[in-house]
Structure 1
Amino acid sequence: MSKDAGLFRRQFLSRGLAAVGAALGAPLVVPSSALGKDGIEAPSDKIILGAMGIGGRGSYDFGCMLREPDVRCVAVCDVQRERRERAKKMVDARNGDDKCAAYVDFREMFARPDIDAVLIATGCNWHGFGAILAAKAGKDVYAEKPVTKTIAESLELAATFQRTARVFQGGMQRRNVAHFVYAMSIIHSGKLGKLHTLYAHPGGMNVGMSGWATPEPEPSKEDVDWDLYLGSAAWRPFNRALLRSGWSCFEEGGGLVGAGVLPWGSHCVDLCQWAKQSDDTVPVDYYPPEGGDRATAVYADGVKLVIRNSGWLPNVGSCPMRAEGDAGWLEVGDSGEIFVSNPEWLAARGAKTGGYPADSHVRDFFDCVKSRGLPKANHFVTCNSHIACHATNIAILLRRKLTYDPKRHEFIGDEEANRLRSEARREPWRE
Structure 2
Amino acid sequence: MNRQTISRRRVLKSSAATIVGGFAYPTIIPSTALGDAQTPPPSERVTLGHIGVGGRGTFLRNATPVGNGIQSLAVSDCYQQRRDSAAAKIQGDGYADFRRILDREDIDGVIIATPDHWHVPIALMAAKAGKDAYVEKPLGLSIEQDLKCKEVFDREKRIFQYGTQQREAKHQQYGRELVRSGKLGSIRAIEVQAPNGGSGGSTEATKVPAGFDYDRWLGPAPEAPYTVDRCKPSGTYWIYDQSIGYLAGWGAHPLDILVWCYDGDQAGPFTVEGTGDIPAEGLYDTVFNWEMTMRMADGVKITFKTGSDSTKFIGTEGRLELTRNSIRAFPVGLVSEELPSNNHGQNGANHIGVFADSIRSRHPASSPVEDAVRSDVMSHLCDIAVRTGERVTWDPSQQRLVGGSDQAKSMVSREMRAPWTL
- TM bracket (short chain): 0.7 to 0.9
**Structure 1 partner of 2:142:** 150
Q: Tell me, yes or no, if the aligned pair for 1:207 and 1:249 is still in contact at 8 Å.
A: no
Segment drifting more, 198-207 vs 386-395 = 198-207
Whether 2:48 is the aligned partner of 1:49: answer yes
Residue matched to 2:213: 225
What is the CA deviation profile of residues 286-311 of structure 1, one whole-angstrom value per residue up to 9, with x for unaligned ones? 0113898521112211111110213x
Q: Which has the larger radius of gyration?
A: 2
Q: Is the 8 A contact 2:183 2:317 kept in 1?
A: yes
- The answer to whether residue 333 in structure 2 is matched with residue 344 in structure 1 is yes
How far apart are the structure 2 equivalents of 1:188 and 1:59? 35
Q: For residue 319 of structure 2, what is the aligned residue in structure 1?
A: 329
| Shift in CA distance, 121/260, structure 1 to aligned 2, threshold 3 Å | closer
Q: Distance in 2 between matches of 1:387 and 1:166?
A: 21
In structure 1, C-alpha distance between the alignment counterparts of 2:380 and 2:77, rounded to whole Å: 27
1:247/1:308 CA distance change after superposition, 3 Å: closer
1:399 Cα deviation from its structure 2 partner: 1.8
Q: How is 1:403-422 mapped onto 2 (pairs within 5 angstroms)?
A: 403-414=393-404, 415-422=406-413
Q: Does the C-alpha gap of structure 1 residues 126 and 195 become closer, same or farther in structure 2, counting only changes over 3 Å?
A: same
1:363 to 345, 353, 372: 353
Counterpart residue number, 1:265: 251
Instruction: Using the TM superposition, give the Cα deviation of residue 250 of structure 1 relative to its aligned residue in structure 2, in angstroms.
Output: 3.4
Deviant stretches of 4+, over 6 Å: 205-208
Residue in structure 1 matching 2:124, options 125, 129, 132: 132
Instruction: Tell me the distance in 2 between the aligned counterparts of 1:158 and 1:419.
Output: 20
Compared with structure 1, are the counterparts of its residues 247 and 274 closer, same or farther at alpha carbon in structure 2 (3 Å cutoff)? closer
Q: Determine if the alignment matches structure 1 residue 72 to structure 2 residue 68.
A: no
- Rounded Cα–Cα distance in structure 1 between residues aligned with 2:111 and 2:4: 23
Query: Contact 1:285 / 1:404 at 8 angstroms: preserved in 2?
Result: yes
1:320 shift after superposition: 1.2
Task: Name 1:28's counterpart in structure 2.
Answer: none
CA positional deviation for 1:160: 0.6
SS in 1 for 2:133: strand
Supply the distance in 2 between the matched residues of 1:166 and 1:207 (Cα, whole angstroms).
39
Measure the CA separation in 1 of the matches of 2:272 and 2:331.
32
Corresponding residue SS for 2:232: helix
* CA shift digits 1:339-364 (9 cap, x unpaired): 11122221134444354631211111
Kindly indicate whether the alpha-carbon contact (under 8 Å) linking 1:281 and 1:384 is maintained by their aligned counterparts in 2: no
After TM superposition, the structure 1 = structure 2 runs for residues 196-275 of structure 1, keeping only pairs within 5 Å, are 196-204=188-196, 213-220=203-210, 223-245=211-233, 246-251=236-241, 257-275=243-261
Would the aligned equivalents of 2:202 and 2:229 in 1 still touch at CA under 8 Å?
Answer: no
Using a 3 Å threshold, how does the CA distance of structure 1 residues 40 and 115 change in structure 2: closer, same or farther? closer
Quick check: 2:187–2:315 contact (8 Å CA) kept in 1? yes
Q: TM-score, normalised by structure 1?
A: 0.80
User: Which structure dedicates a bigger proportion of its chain to strand?
Assistant: 2
Q: How does 1:69-148 map to 2 (within 5 A)?
A: 69-92=68-91, 100-148=92-140
Answer yes or no: is the 8 Å Cα contact 1:279–1:381 preserved in 2: no
Separation in 2, partners of 1:67, 1:166: 22
CA change 1:347–1:115 in 2 (3 A) is same
- Aligned residue pairs, count: 373
2:377 matched residue in structure 1: 387
Aligned to 2:57: 58
> Which secondary structure state, in structure 2, belongs to the residue aligned with residue 234 of structure 1?
coil
Mapped contact 1:198–1:321 kept (Cα < 8 A): yes
Matches of 1:276 and 1:40, distance apart in 2: 36
Match in the other structure for 2:29: none
Indicate the residue corresponding to 1:305 in structure 2.
302
How far apart, CA to CA, are the structure 2 residues paired with 1:365 and 1:139?
A: 12
Instruction: Deviation per CA, 1:392-420: give whole Å up to 9, x if none.
Output: 11111112211112222222222211100
Aligned to 2:286: none
Secondary structure of 1:48's partner?
A: strand
TM-score by structure 2 length?
0.82
Moved more, 122-131 or 238-247: 238-247
In 1, Cα distance between equivalents of 2:276 and 2:136: 32
Alignment counterpart, residue 419 of structure 2, candidates 410, 413, 428:
428
Q: For the Cα contact (< 8 Å) 2:120–2:146, is it kept in 1? A: yes
Equivalent residues in 2 for 1:259-298 (5 A)?
259-278=245-264, 284-289=270-275, 294-298=291-295
Equivalent residues in 2 for 1:16-31, closer than 5 Å? none
What residue ranges of structure 1 are gaps of 5+ in the alignment?
Answer: 1-32, 93-99, 313-318
Q: Report the 3-state secondary structure (helix = DSSP H, G, I; strand = E; otherwise coil) of the residue aligned with 1:242.
A: coil
Separation in 1, partners of 2:184, 2:218 = 46
